[in-house]
Amino acid sequence: MTVYVRIDDLAQPLDSSILAEVTDIYAGIGITVDTQFGSFLKEELKIEGNIQITILSSRFDADDQKLAESAVRELWETPPGGSSAAADNVVANTISNLSNPDVWGYTAGLAPADPLRSPILIKAPPDNWAENDVFTRAYDNSVEANKARDLYYYSNVIVHELGHTFGLNHNNDPLDFMYNLPPGQQQIDKIMEKILDDAPKDDLVRWQEFVRTEVASRKRYFSDAATARDTISKFVK
């Protein structure tokens, strides 16, 4: 059984390494996710297991709101189960949630009986993201720093939002992909906090090398992978 994910990154281009990371993370718990750039055709959105992701700017300005509304209406006005009235409500909830600067991604979910077609909206890394400074200091140039930051950020947020479509809820474990940061907090995450605690403090070059290596190797996990596999086996034929 395969879940097919298409990522529309025209507004905020992503590196292909992010897609590979998402695929690898889910492969680690026995879920096959075919992740590619692009968009599904409207007819393809009717199929369970076809999930569309749209990347937005961190500002979530008027242009982003139009993209979000279009992505939601494309699915919610598409049978089965779709209607303009339903779309109006979901659009309003989607824009309200994404207007919150503490919300980085949002799954505009269908009913529990039809979960694996939910459109996902993801914002670019916020300017005040606590990890921004870590990546800036860990790399000697901004291109490498931004690439590493984007890989870390987007892979985690995409995996988290896909987890919702696979039936997973938020939890209080900071190392779980489904961890929900308390509202209003921009604290550094626990994996990065541990890396910085362990990094050598007496030599910048050694510090940079340690941080780069550890960021690439230390992973989160799913505490309830069985639920995700069960959801997919139930709805994907």
The predicted model gives 129-142 an average pLDDT of: 92
Contact 18, 33 (CB under 8 A): no
Alpha-carbon torsion angle 87, 88, 93, 97, nearest 10:
90
What's the whole-model pTM score?
Answer: 0.92
Q: Tell me which residue range forms the domain holding 111.
A: 2-232
Peptide bond preceding 80 in cis form (omega within 30 of 0): yes
**Residue environment code for 67-102, b if the CB has 16+ CB neighbours within 10 A, otherwise e:** bbbebbbbbbbbeeebeeebbeebbeebbebbeeee
Q: Between 124 and 43, where is the model more confident?
A: 124
Domain CATH number, residue 19: 3.40.390
Contact 141, 208 (CB under 8 A): no
Cα–Cα distance measured from residue 27 to residue 92, given in angstroms and rounded to the nearest whole number:
34
Q: Is 78 among the domain residues?
A: yes
Question: What pLDDT digit, counting tens, does each position of 155-212 carry?
Answer: 999 999 999 999 999 998 988 999 987 665 556 788 898 999 999 999 999 999 999 9
User: Is the CA virtual torsion 81, 26, 162, 171 positive or negative?
Assistant: positive
Question: What pLDDT digit, counting tens, does each position of 61-96 carry?
Answer: 999 999 999 988 887 765 555 567 778 888 999 999
CA 12 to mean position of chain CA atoms: 14
Cα–Cα distance measured from residue 81 to residue 46, given in angstroms and rounded to the nearest whole number:
10
Q: Is 237 among the domain residues?
A: no
Tally the domains of the chain.
Answer: 1
pLDDT of 153 reads 93
Cα–Cα distance measured from residue 225 to residue 61, given in angstroms and rounded to the nearest whole number:
35
Residue type, 11: A
The predicted model gives 129-134 an average pLDDT of: 89
Q: Between 213 and 110, where is the model more confident?
A: 213
Cα–Cα distance measured from residue 138 to residue 148, given in angstroms and rounded to the nearest whole number:
10
